[in-house]
Amino acid sequence: MSTEQKLIVEKSGPVTTLTLNRPQVHNALDRDLSQQLNEAVREIRDDVECRVVVFQGAGNTFCAGDDVSEFSDWPDESIGRQIRLYQETAKIIEDLTQVTIAKVDGIAVGGGLELTLVCDFVVATDRSRWGMPEIDWDITPGWGGTNRLAWFAGRRKTKEWNLIGALFNAETAERYDLINRLTTPEQLDAEVESLIEVMLAKEPRVVERTKKYLKYGADNIDFGLALESEWIGRALTEGVRDFRDRDKREQRRKLSKTFWQN
């Protein structure tokens, strides 16, 4: 394997930023980068100091998915392992207790789009381009493009995007629930920083539990209510000091109550 740093990991206090660093090919995921990404998210999973993870791409583009130029060189026995690696990486990101943010500019297609599906938030520029073009490369999506995508956009659009393979613009991505916040390239950094500030103001234990409620209870109301009933007493007990801290609570609400209302 190459020792080239195709993934840049930067830690700044409780925030870790992962930058896909192959801008010459729109940060396409070759085997080296895929392995480095898997190793990085494994480390983050065990990093108790980390509270927010940002995924971004170098060179004003996010990720063009798999590096198809490698496909002809893949030994048959390695294909299954590579797909399992992709799926494991996506699952680890989806299960992280930390808040995850996809910071998207330029191309977000194939595996790049699939990466955004397992993040908690997606902040994207109005020039970003989205799509699932695998069908034209005679392959199928490997880590969520035919299933997770339907959770957001519904079955009809998921079929359209996968079977046709056309790219679509950021406004369409936002309309079909793939983007939380649409912004300009010039404002992208500021938007993400503002979101990080809001999330760091939250109580970490409550963020972790709320993520669990959202994950395990979203598709089953009765189960979700049972989880809330089981954990709410513990959350209130552990959070009682915060309720007594009026200044902290009011500052948190000041950051949150009008966030992203325009």
Active site residue 134: yes
Distance CA 173, CA 194 (A): 22
Strand partners, 129: 107, 169
CA-CA-CA-CA torsion for 134, 180, 210, 147, nearest 10 degrees?
Answer: -20
Distance from CA of residue 178 to its chain's centroid?
A: 10
Q: What is the largest CA-CA distance in the chain?
A: 62
- What is the DSSP code (8-state) at residue 176? T
- What is the DSSP code (8-state) at residue 63? B
The active-site residue out of 10, 43, 94, 134 is 134
Contact yes or no for 145/162 (Cβ under 8 A): yes
The active-site residue out of 88, 114, 171, 193 is 114
Contact yes or no for 129/108 (Cβ under 8 A): yes
Question: Which sequence positions are flagged as catalytic?
Answer: 114, 134
